[in-house]
Amino acid sequence: MKDLGKAFSFFFNDPSWVTKTLIAAGFMILALFGIGIPVLAGYLIQTTQRVMKREQNPLPAWSDVGVQFVTGIKYCVVIIVYTLPIILLYIPFLVLVFAGAMAGESEVIGLVTTLYFIPFMFIVIIYGLALAAVSPIITYCFAERERISDALDVARIYREFKGNWQNALVVALLTVGVQSFAFVGIVLVIVGVFFTVFYAYAVSAYLAGLLYLERAPQEVPA
């Protein structure tokens, strides 16, 4: 896969990266209250789009927050839909735990809860790994036309993964790795958190766009 190194260096090649990071930090503070999440999501989708278009400086300007907000809202819907199966599976587990607590943690309820928890965790792990493997594809499928239906087209996502699975797995592993790196910011106080999180997710957005450029040509439905 070409140009992987640029995914980690493009951020600092942008002459305005400090200013853009400081603005992102403001939205990350708002994200603690749920307000800034759609804006940040929209900004990262725009980053992917700029990579897909081979822009010289993929980091967008913070010039149209309204557009970024709307784009981010739609992408958040995509994320919610893909996490919905886990949420629905988690509800019976919570009910069993609550029932066990109300029944004074009876052995029967405890056994049933345990028997449910084991397959539940197995499904969560398998589903989580599968979702991580195709997440960059989901991102660029949405970024193409900003349609929720494109990102939820499971058949197309499967075809794209099947046709480019080696690069998809490389990008998925790098994405998980760089996002894990974001936690390093926790030991670097507040400023470190803002920088490492923004950098990690910007790199992830770049990798999704790079995977799009490396994929086998696909026919996109109108």
- Note the pLDDT tens digit of each residue in 150-197: 999 999 999 999 999 999 999 999 998 888 776 665 555 555 677 888
* pLDDT band, residue 45 (cuts 50/70/90): very high
Percent of the chain residues topping a pLDDT of 70 = 85
| Per-residue model confidence (pLDDT) at position 218 | 53
> Measured over all CA atoms, what is the biggest interatomic distance in the chain, rounded to whole angstroms?
63
pLDDT in tens, 58-75: 999 999 999 999 999 999
Q: What is the per-residue pLDDT for 219?
A: 47
Alpha-carbon gap, residue 215 to 134, rounded angstroms: 13
Separation between Cα atoms, residue 16 and residue 143, nearest integer Å: 23
Residue 115 pLDDT level (bands cut at 50, 70, 90): confident
Average pLDDT score, the chain: 87
How confident is the model at residue 93, as a pLDDT? 73
Alpha carbon distance 125, 131 (integer Å): 10
* Amino acid, single-letter form, for residue 11: F
Contact, 1 vs 165, CB < 8 A?
A: no
pLDDT at 19: 95
Least confident of 73-87, 107-121, 177-191: 177-191
Interatomic CA distance for residues 143 and 52, integer angstroms:
9
Taking only Cα atoms into account, the Rg of the chain, rounded to an integer number of angstroms, comes to 20
Give the model's pLDDT for residue 107: 65
Task: Band the pLDDT of 222: cuts 50, 70, 90.
Answer: very low
Residue 101: pLDDT over 70: no
